[in-house]
Amino acid sequence: MSGHVQYTLDYALELDKQDELAPYRNEFYIQSGQIYLDGNSLGLLSKRAEKSLLEVLDTWKQNGIDGWTEGDDPWFYLPEALGGKMAPLVGAKAEEVIVTGSTTSNLHQLVATFYQPTKERNKILADDLAFPTDIYALQSQLKLKGYDPDAYLVKAPSVDGHLLNEEDIIAVMNEDVAVIVLPSILYRSGQILDMERLTKEAHKRGILIGFDLCHSIGSIPHQLSDWGVDFAFWCTYKHLNGGPGAVGGLYVNAKHFGRIPGLTGWFGSRKDKQFDMEHQLTPAEHAGAFQMGTPHLLSMAPLIGSLELFNEAGIKKVRKKSIALNEYMQQLIEHELGSYGFELKSPLNSENRGGHLFLVHPEAARICKALKEEQIIPDFRSPNGIRLAPVALYNSYQDVWLTIQKLKEIMKEEKYKKFENKRGVVA
């Protein structure tokens, strides 16, 4: 959107008429009267995801154990099949991606594999703004190797508690660092890190590097293989709309194929050898080797339908609309909410920002409760943050316009004051 932005509802409706992804909104279950802006935490259910889940249930009902090798999506091969469908979203070869585990278990697996400390290289580099589960996993892996996390887990500092400076990250890529684990997109501010640049800088220094893609997969394009990234991991219940607790995914660059995973299990076997039941593992010759236990089929099944939508729409079109929605929201915030004490802590340049905006306000918790009372679903982040995520496949420009108008009303009439400024058990 260029030129002067208009601030009327009619303008938002006109943008919706021009939106080539608008038909995908009908693919999702959107509650009547509700505006859902929490897709960066849990994406909505699509009709195709529901259909594919029911089809897997029906296969179980009709075929029993033969569902492992029969039906449209035989379970035995499903992690690899879905990995192939997911690969274009991360810019990888099909064999470099596997659908398995969860964010945390996959991080444990990858660090157990790639963190092989020596006397000279024994530290892990992360950052001050990482999602807590990543830090917990890295601390655990250090302890398992006999290292004190306080001394051997290095964190790149934040410039302001919201953003990272890539120069500061590079500055702590010292010769004693063995592995780097960073977010692709910061979960609070939405800042996108330059993965290509950071990978090049790490490799110049002989350091392996991996990324947490939880907030970027399904939101922005990637080129992991071209960039030479060593490994990556992610969840599938945010922008990929895989459902609560959906099975995660991981990427291993083909140059590392043949490396024995740090945590082995029978589903990492080569398929033709798995049921030989030998006590000597013959690992798969691709990312499938990094699987451990039997896949959770009912938590994987929705991805069959969900990934169809992404492969149809295309991640470039998704990103284009995501940028437009967020720019529109940013402009409305600046125009309508300037006097109400909100601070935008996301990067101002949309090219450096993922699929959500992060607002800081002293009354954030109670403002979120007031929004929910008005059937607008935001995401609160302690202690004072509000994440608003207009999602390209199911949110509209009208959603954005109505949200900011309602937020202005809540602030002007002080409707938030009837709520306690304290988060719920789940935020």
For 405, the enclosing helix (H) or strand (E) is: helix 397-412
> Is 69 among the annotated ligand-binding positions?
no
For 63, the enclosing helix (H) or strand (E) is: helix 47-63
Instruction: Supply the DSSP symbol for 283.
Output: B
> Is 199 among the annotated ligand-binding positions?
no
pLDDT at 4: 59
Say if CB 325 and CB 83 are below 8 A apart.
no
Per-residue confidence in pLDDT tens, the chain, 427 aa: 444 578 999 999 999 999 999 999 999 999 999 999 999 999 999 999 999 999 999 999 999 999 999 989 999 999 999 999 999 999 999 999 999 999 999 999 999 999 999 999 999 999 999 999 999 999 999 999 999 999 999 999 998 999 999 999 999 999 999 999 999 999 999 999 999 999 999 999 999 999 999 999 999 999 999 999 999 999 999 999 999 999 999 999 999 999 999 999 999 999 999 999 999 999 999 999 999 999 999 999 999 999 999 999 999 999 999 999 999 999 999 999 999 999 999 999 999 999 999 999 999 999 999 999 999 999 999 999 999 999 999 999 999 999 999 999 999 999 999 999 888 877 7
Tokens found for residue 51:
């259909």
Output the CA–CA distances (angstroms, integers) from residue 79 to 28, 73, 288, 392, in the order listed. 24, 10, 8, 26
> Is 149 among the annotated ligand-binding positions?
no
Measured distance CA(246)–CA(236) in Å, rounded:
6
Measured distance CA(74)–CA(87) in Å, rounded:
19
In the chain, the domains with their CATH numbers are 9-30+314-416 (3.90.1150.10), 50-312 (3.40.640.10)
> Is 104 among the annotated ligand-binding positions?
yes
> Is 131 among the annotated ligand-binding positions?
yes
> Is 132 among the annotated ligand-binding positions?
yes
Beta-ladder partners of 124: 153, 179
Measured distance CA(326)–CA(266) in Å, rounded:
44
SS3 298: helix
Nearest to 156 by CA among 138, 172, 143, 179: 172
> Is 113 among the annotated ligand-binding positions?
no
